[in-house]
Structure 1
Amino acid sequence: MRIRPATDADWPAILPFFTAIVEDGETYAYPSGLSSDEARALWMGQHRVVVAEDDGRVLGSATMGPNRPGRGAHVGTASFMVDGAARGRGVGRALGEHVLAWSKEAGFRAVQFNAVVETNTAAVALWRSLGFRIIGTVPEAFDSRRHGLVGLHVMHRAL
């Protein structure tokens, strides 16, 4: 598996799993029914976007950059999406490790995830295994399609 910067040519491969994940209603607070252009602006318009690929097939993507502008720009953040067909192959872990290495190299002092859905137990376990800790949970901040109102964890890892 190789992780590389995303290009505009990658968007047609990202869009199907982006749409499936958003429409599933379990992990992202993006609105349903986004057009390709609206989805592209949300995902590809971030500070840095990468894809994980294997044999030329895009398996997942991550965005990364400063969590806040100005006086908060020393803390990074990131978002991750993995194609459902590639789950269980270590794509999320490889993307997470890439984000941590890139963030440290870019001079960030920490990485903070602002909204990890508490019922997304696979993601919570992955981030914990990479050294993140839950520093707080906003109660009932996410409207899960399957579970109703659930909390959003704020997760943090010092670099």
Structure 2
Amino acid sequence: MKTVLSEEGYPCALFETYMAMVLGSIGSNQYRKLFVRLPDGSLRDVIDDGDLACAYFVSSILTLCGLTKNGVHTTVDETIRDLELSGWKRNFDQHVGNVVIWKQKVCSDGLLHRHIGFCVTGDEAVSNYAISGHPRRHPLLEKDIVGEYVREVEGYYSYPHF
């Protein structure tokens, strides 16, 4: 397998590339569909046209950058397991580049789900937005129209080699 080093003569600037991918994903429809084939042969979009795509989005970027070991995931729990297995450290720091985990809330399918995204500034994140089905930039602690927090942050994961 060729690498950037052998192709370009320089090592990849991993953090900068990672952040460029996160920021470049804003508004993308890339993460709206993920099909599985059911036993009867029919197809099912398991992320419901982007409504439940946060883990798919985050784990796709992490996988493309080689920052996790077990590939793309559809759940926050599996993505967290992969982060921990891959050496990411849990903390409570809002640093640029950290993966952020938000606490559970009832989602459109009637079930409790956590949410996952990326810190892009000390007070902003990029995560998949269920309503539009694509990643967007938003406050880490976003409020609804009556001033209540939409979700509280549960914690962060940082990569020790950044």
TM range (shorter): under 0.3
Structure with higher helix content: 1
The structure with the larger Rg is 2
TM-score normalised by length of structure 2: 0.27
TM-score normalised by length of structure 1: 0.27
